[in-house]
Structure 1
Amino acid sequence: MPAEPTNSKFVKPDSLSICMIVKNEADLLSRCLDSIKNVADELIIVDTGSTDATVSIAQSFGAKVVCTDWRDDFAWARNISIKDATSSWILWLDADDVVPPESIPILASLKKEKPDHIIGLTVRNQRPGNTGTEFVQARMFPNRPDLYFERRIHEQIMPSALRIGMKMESRNAVIEHHGYADPATLKKKALRNIQLLLEDYDDSAPDAVTTVEIADSYQLTDNHESALIWYKRTLAIPGCESITPSIASQAYLGLGTIYNLRSEYSTAITYLRRASEISPWRPDVLYSLAVAIEQNGEPQKAVAILEQILTLKVSAGQVGVDFRAAKIKTYLRLVRILVELGNMEHAAAITADSLASEPLRPELYNSAGKFLIKYGKPLDALKTFEKSIMLIKQGNLDAYIGLCIIYVKAGMTSKAIETMDSLAIDFSANNKYQTFRSCINGTTLTPEQTELLANLRREFFNVF
């Protein structure tokens, strides 16, 4: 049993305080608060220096607003937000979080539980194309003085919870986090995080979590040399694999990814196999391993690993995994390898399974269309590419190229040229577009375009 609170604090039973820290979040805050207002008994928002309408928006929702300065310390600001909370439970959110409607009744039930444990909720990072990592995070906890945040960046409540014998229990509510939708913003945040993490890092007593977060942040900024150094430092920490296996697996994955990028596939395989042994449930690890094995000249073995991914169940853990992206990439690579191996019936089965499993993914319809051209079913391919365009028109160049290939093969080159010309306003700066357009127009290609065309033909299984 966890220890009792060290001093008294009046709290309202069966209630929930939403506690947040914000700065210049006028564009996002209303969406967040609107998503949580029906289950919140109290809103406390710490503003760290907004110059926009953030404070007035918070007040319009009835929030108690505390204004303070920013000290480059997320834990310090979070602790201000929970200091005067009056509910029995606290849920912390960011302004770019959204609580989906289906999670509201779950939270309403959770706030009636006995406040003697930490509640882990699934955080689902939302990125373009409906992908993004998912992980379980300690988001909801009892309101008591001996529970507080620690660490300047990537602040956590669990260290203080563990000191008083309180454990985390996972629940099936979801929080959608939209802060990583823009790649440029993601890199900017990673650069900021590196500085704060390095200030927290204690070389005399390194902890695996901080060390791997430094490595991951360097990886996000494409500083692979520094990332490699820090991943190896993570694994060198005594007891890393035995005490923090999920962190060790993340470090091995990072190393494998770097060596894949360097085309040093044998080394990548060594690291990725170890990552898969520690975390066999991670599809991103298995996918990277399949890539390394295929590139190392063993496509049939890669097929077996890719098929293994499709049998895994989504099970979010402490480390973020993009289950959605891994599944989509698995289908795409698996179909391509099977076609290149000449196993058309197997490829047909995987193609059908991909559309049945993920009926709203345009990239899978494009893959299916490419396969159907190769399989000798141009009319089915035509309908499949048209379905892809119905799902998403903007930026869907592969679907239009697929249609044009079918037109050309049917002797309707003029229609293909007309279609590509109609897309000029959207794709004029796209090298892939310009290359294919030049190809069907019979224009002489530059050396760069010749290479691009070879890659494009491979993407379409050399059907043109």
Structure 2
Amino acid sequence: MTKEARNRKLTAVIVVNEETDLIRETLNSVRQIVDEIVLLNTGNTDAISSIAKEYQARVVAHSWQESFGEARNAALAHVTGEWILWLDPGETIQADHAATLREFVNTQVDIMTAYVLLVRAPQAPGNIGSEQIGQIRLHPNHPGIRFEGRVRENLNQSLAECGMSIEAVPFLLQRNIAETDQAWKVSRASRDAKLVEREINESGPNARLMICMAEAVQTLNDQANALMFFEQACRLSEHGSAEMLEAFYGILTALDSRPDGLDTQIQTCMTALEIFPLDAQLLCAIGGYLRTKGHQELARRSFETAYKHGQINLETWHIDDIDEIAASCLAISTHAAGKHEDAERILLEALSDCPHSIRLRRQVIDMHVKHGRRNEALDELDLLPADYPKLDSFRSAVRGAVLASQQNWVAARPYLETAYRQDSREPLCLRWYATTLAALGETDAARDALLTWKKREPHNGEPDDLMQALLTGPTIRSKAKSESVLAS
């Protein structure tokens, strides 16, 4: 049945405290598409008043009741729009997505449906990519819709009681602030832990609360208790649910800190894959664990399954480019198995499918460098975004790296050294610069370059591997080329 097309009143709702700069970012991105803005303010009224005037927003002062669900429900009472778009301070929507979302509200929404939007967070330190999750952010202004939970609040129960369906739509909200402020993270984790304790005392434990508590104590650097809470969440969750999958993810990360955790991670992954056999993140994780244990062919098969058949669950935080990571790891494993042409084909096919992938393009550049294909490498480099950081230095590094791949160490050094001194910290630059210095017998300088790399990417094992391969033993010059590998 064709839906009625008309201009439906859309209200943006934000629960705010004192994040004035973040609120402005968010409102700037949606001010042209919403008809009403409601700011539920649990903090300093003076800090928000100027924003309210600037954006013609309605500010509702509300005392904090130690419950995000209660705060959101309080905001709902002040909405006059037919449809509600929930936002958090610092979240923005690109202009093209905003316009399409507005058109969607006018022409396609179903009064008995709540809609899931993608929320993407910037890459956090130590992570291999940015993460995203699907969350219900757009729904009709229906009197039966209410949030449940003091923390990790959700609408699921009330939507079910109202007989509403849930549907995902392709609109992206971008969180523009990386969570790098440790003091802020600790404060938020302590707050969440208290909210969880209070809700458990009121209604008893459940998987949602155990996951929230696990994440809080993990931020507080208590990995042992984080593991315990994730394991409890797994036991309390419904079999095959998103909460169970999220609990498995948490168990795997909590085991990272244990020196004997690798075997347990493999076993945990195997258990999880029996329940979620095509989950792309689990497949990539077990591939990495197996590769570390030296089971190269099993690792390659895991990456291949992730690349060809991997799936994601929108209800859990997941790496947004996990398909690209699977292709990247498959190419690396295939190359390590001596199947160089197959590895190249995998990379080129993946880049054809994801032409805007910087990760894959950098890896293709590495591949061309490794085979001494200067022009092809530079052609790929020219396809990187114009605002790519230190592009000229990267170009110099590529020229030098091609020469180094041909063991022309003396000619390679000036290009690589120029890039390095211009603060290029591309893995390609650091890898080939250290290799060149080692081949020329300048072990101290090579070690410094590798230490710089390790400091910049503490979770990357390649600098350690190169340190061991290039700077030990009497055959540095002969090792220099053979130990160079495709970048991940």
Q: TM-score range by the shorter chain?
A: 0.7 to 0.9
- Give the 3-state SS of the residue equivalent to 1:288 in structure 2: helix
Aligned sequence identity (%): 19
Inter-CA distance 89–384: structure 2 relative to 1 (3 Å threshold): closer
Inter-CA distance 455–57: structure 2 relative to 1 (3 Å threshold): same
Structure 1 residue 64: Cα displacement: 0.9
- Give the 3-state SS of the residue equivalent to 2:72 in structure 1: helix
Q: Which residue of 2 aligns with 1:158?
A: 156
Q: Judge conservation of contact 2:399–2:412 (CA < 8 Å) in 1.
A: no
Q: Which residue of 2 aligns with 1:205?
A: 204
Q: Which residue of 2 aligns with 1:286?
A: 283
Inter-CA distance 393–119: structure 2 relative to 1 (3 Å threshold): closer
Q: Which residue of 1 aligns with 2:457?
A: none
Q: Which residue of 1 aligns with 2:140?
A: 142
Q: Which amino acid aligns with 2:359?
A: E
Inter-CA distance 410–315: structure 2 relative to 1 (3 Å threshold): closer
The one of 13, 16, 39 equivalent to 2:10 is: 16
- Give the 3-state SS of the residue equivalent to 1:147 in structure 2: coil
Structure 1 residue 207: Cα displacement: 1.0
Q: Which has the higher contact order (CA 8 A, sep 6+)?
A: 1
Inter-CA distance 223–407: structure 2 relative to 1 (3 Å threshold): farther
Query: How far apart in 2 are the matches of 1:447 and 1:33?
Result: 49
Q: Which residue of 2 aligns with 1:25?
A: 19
Q: Which residue of 2 aligns with 1:299?
A: 296
Structure 1 residue 50: Cα displacement: 4.1
Q: Which residue of 1 aligns with 2:352?
A: 356
Inter-CA distance 175–358: structure 2 relative to 1 (3 Å threshold): closer
- Give the 3-state SS of the residue equivalent to 1:156 in structure 2: coil
TM-score by length of 2: 0.77
The one of 372, 388, 391 equivalent to 1:392 is: 388
Inter-CA distance 20–35: structure 2 relative to 1 (3 Å threshold): same
Q: Which amino acid aligns with 2:207?
A: A
The one of 312, 315, 321 equivalent to 2:318 is: 321
Query: How far apart in 2 are the matches of 1:194 and 1:107?
Result: 37
Q: Deviations over 1:165-207 (max 9, x none)?
A: 4334214142413155243468444454334333333498311
Q: Which residue of 2 aligns with 1:9?
A: none
Query: How far apart in 1 are the matches of 2:378 and 2:9?
Result: 56
Structure 1 residue 349: Cα displacement: 0.8
Inter-CA distance 54–173: structure 2 relative to 1 (3 Å threshold): farther
Q: Which amino acid aligns with 2:97?
A: E
Q: Deviations over 1:127-168 (max 9, x none)?
A: 479953333222223324442223222222223333x34334
Q: Deviations over 1:399-424 (max 9, x none)?
A: 76554332344636356335424543
Query: How far apart in 2 are the matches of 1:81 and 1:415?
Result: 63
Inter-CA distance 192–399: structure 2 relative to 1 (3 Å threshold): farther
Q: Which moved more, 1:281-290 or 1:439-448?
A: 439-448
Structure 1 residue 344: Cα displacement: 0.9
Q: Judge conservation of contact 2:409–2:439 (CA < 8 Å) in 1.
A: no
Q: Which residue of 2 aligns with 1:102?
A: 97
- Give the 3-state SS of the residue equivalent to 1:183 in structure 2: coil
- Give the 3-state SS of the residue equivalent to 2:224 in structure 1: helix
Structure 1 residue 53: Cα displacement: 5.4
- Give the 3-state SS of the residue equivalent to 2:163 in structure 1: coil
Tell me if 1:183 matches 2:180: yes
Query: How far apart in 2 are the matches of 1:398 and 1:255?
Result: 38
Q: Which amino acid aligns with 2:26?
A: C
Query: How far apart in 2 are the matches of 1:461 and 1:53?
Result: 60
Query: How far apart in 1 are the matches of 2:68 and 2:90?
Result: 16
Inter-CA distance 362–397: structure 2 relative to 1 (3 Å threshold): farther
- Give the 3-state SS of the residue equivalent to 1:201 in structure 2: helix
Q: Which residue of 2 aligns with 1:132?
A: 130
Query: How far apart in 2 are the matches of 1:460 and 1:82?
Result: 64
Q: Judge conservation of contact 1:417–1:440 (CA < 8 Å) in 2.
A: no
Q: Judge conservation of contact 1:201–1:211 (CA < 8 Å) in 2.
A: no
The one of 340, 344, 348 equivalent to 1:344 is: 340
Q: Judge conservation of contact 1:48–1:70 (CA < 8 Å) in 2.
A: yes
Q: Which moved more, 1:72-81 or 1:256-265?
A: 256-265
The one of 43, 56, 62 equivalent to 1:49 is: 43
- The alignment covers a number of residue pairs equal to 447
Query: How far apart in 1 are the matches of 2:84 and 2:303?
Result: 41
Inter-CA distance 255–40: structure 2 relative to 1 (3 Å threshold): same
Query: How far apart in 1 are the matches of 2:100 and 2:446?
Result: 60
Q: Which moved more, 1:380-389 or 1:277-286?
A: 380-389
Q: Which residue of 2 aligns with 1:60?
A: 54
Query: How far apart in 1 are the matches of 2:11 and 2:98?
Result: 16
Q: Which amino acid aligns with 1:148?
A: R
Q: Which moved more, 1:39-48 or 1:259-268?
A: 259-268
Query: How far apart in 1 are the matches of 2:27 and 2:114?
Result: 23
Q: Which residue of 2 aligns with 1:462?
A: 483
Inter-CA distance 71–421: structure 2 relative to 1 (3 Å threshold): farther
Query: How far apart in 2 are the matches of 1:377 and 1:39?
Result: 49
Q: Which amino acid aligns with 2:19?
A: E
- Give the 3-state SS of the residue equivalent to 2:137 in structure 1: strand
CA RMSD, aligned part only?
Answer: 3.9
Structure 1 residue 333: Cα displacement: 2.1
Query: How far apart in 1 are the matches of 2:152 and 2:115?
Result: 18
Q: Which moved more, 1:266-275 or 1:254-263?
A: 254-263
